[in-house]
Amino acid sequence: MSSGRKRRLLLAALVILLLLSGGHLWLNPYLDAASVLLRVSDPNRHDWLTRHDTNPITIRDTSVQTPAGPVRGRLYIPEGIPNPPAMVILHGVHYLGIDEPRLVNFSRALSTHGVLVLTPELADLADYHVELGSIDLIGYAARDLKARTGANSVAVLGLSFAGGLALVAASEPQYEKDVSIVISIGGYDSLPRVLRFYATNTVQGPRGAVLHMQAHEYGILVVAYAHPEDFFSPADVPRAREAIRQQLHEKTAQAQAIAQRLSPAGRARMEDLLAHKDGGLSADLLRSLSEHKTDAEAVSPEGKLAHIRADVFLAHGEADNVIPPAELMWLKKDVPADKLKAALISPVISHVELGGKPSFADEWRLVDFMKDVLQDCDKHARSHHELAPAQLEAAPASGRH
């Protein structure tokens, strides 16, 4: 975040202080929200606002218990908070999984403000696959954290593709009692619609308006990695998959070296993929989407949220070209009005991180959104019984921060 943007967030807090004279209890939630956002954008920043109402945290590696066996996870435990709100935070499609720096920053920032965070490793998403198995794993993680804390239910925050999956998990009858709040940041409503965007560079909103927007080049790579058989000959598929995997892992030299071992036709196709020349790939992409449409619909919130019991918060970047912001508008249409607590399309957010060149009003709206999230989490935490530290003992602590 630029120094000018930081100053505007600081100014927002000062304006609140002046307007709410004598209203310290009203002021604190806004200061907490601004502090969280500043810590997310710059974890190394240390001033009075980032230190406002914070506490030390313990970070502990753990395992989430599932019927298929334990899954790697990590706890961010606020010290000295007897009854903290509990939240599962889900990483997006990224090979670093729970070690992805933006996820770590988000988890640390919320924990320093009194939220107990569990981050489970979603193996499919870490391998660039959006699959049904992640929905059950999200439900098991919520249930696991609920059992550890003695909470009646927990919040689930999903970044990017995990935002859509979190909404589906919360709407499933077997998990609906475990999840009280869903926060989707940069999430989707219809995966087929998002994948079609990668092929056409067009986005349609719920009112029929069509927006032309250049899709992020990573989108076609993800589709080709999931189904290389739709883009390459059977003989080329194993090497093509590995070349794309290396590219997604930001190892371009290795990807190009593997590509040289493909057939001439496969090499030409891979060169187009790695050079982000999607013109010749769009037809194959559309055919691939048609063949796998049913699978994509199964992991989409669209048509599944009519009876969701959790409070829902939606945020999306105004210029997001990974999952276009029109998806938030579709989600607003699908989430019952009494469950949709806040929805924000903001230039402050790029995809799942802070960015852009927002105005003071834009930053104020993001602070207000985060304030509402924190207050709703705190409201649901009031019904929990006091947390016994022994309940969280699942692995040796990895450090106090």
pLDDT score for 305: 97
pLDDT per residue as tens digits for the range 283-341: 888 899 999 999 999 999 999 999 999 999 999 999 899 999 999 999 999 999 999 99
Give Cα separations from 218 to 179, 225, 244, 245, 371 (angstroms).
Answer: 31, 10, 10, 12, 33
Q: How far apart are CA 167 and CA 187, in angstroms?
A: 9
Under 8 Å CB-to-CB from 229, ≥6 apart: which residues?
A: 237
Q: Encoding tokens for residue 131?
A: 């699959």
DSSP string, 15-57: HHHHHTTT-HHHHHHHHHHHHHHHHHH-TT--STTTTTT---E
Q: How far apart are CA 297 and CA 289, in angstroms?
A: 11
What is the rounded radius of gyration, in angstroms, for the C-alpha atoms of the chain?
21
Q: How far apart are CA 217 and CA 245, in angstroms?
A: 14
Place of tokens 């619609």: 193
Instruction: Give, to the nearest 10 degrees, the angle between helix 264-274 and helix 218-226.
Output: 140
DSSP string, 286-343: HHHHHHTHHHHHHT--TTS-TT--SEEEEEEETT-SSS-THHHHHHHHHS-TTTEEEE
The number of beta carbons lying within 10 Å of the beta carbon of residue 284 is: 18
Element (H, E) at 120: strand 116-120
Q: Shortest CA distance to 40 belongs to which of 113, 121, 110, 116? A: 110
Q: How far apart are CA 258 and CA 161, in angstroms?
A: 28
CA atoms within 13 A on the CB side of 219: 29
pLDDT score for 24: 52
Chain center to CA of 347: 17
pLDDT per residue as tens digits for the range 210-237: 888 888 888 889 999 999 999 999 999 9
DSSP string, 129-151: ---HHHHHHHHHHHHHHHHHHT-
Residues 78 and 114: beta-carbon distance below 8 Å: yes
Q: How far apart are CA 14 and CA 376, in angstroms?
A: 24
Is the C-alpha dihedral spanning 189, 191, 197, 198 positive or negative? positive
Q: Encoding tokens for residue 396?
A: 């040796």
Q: Which residue ranges in the chain fall short of pLDDT 50? A: 1, 18, 20-23, 352, 385, 390, 394-400
Q: Shortest CA distance to 206 belongs to which of 313, 323, 327? A: 327
Under 8 Å CB-to-CB from 99, ≥6 apart: which residues?
A: none
Q: How far apart are CA 226 and CA 220, in angstroms?
A: 10
pLDDT score for 127: 96
Supply angle C-alpha 36, 37, 43, rounded to 5: 80
- C-alpha torsion 122→129→260→230, nearest 10: 170
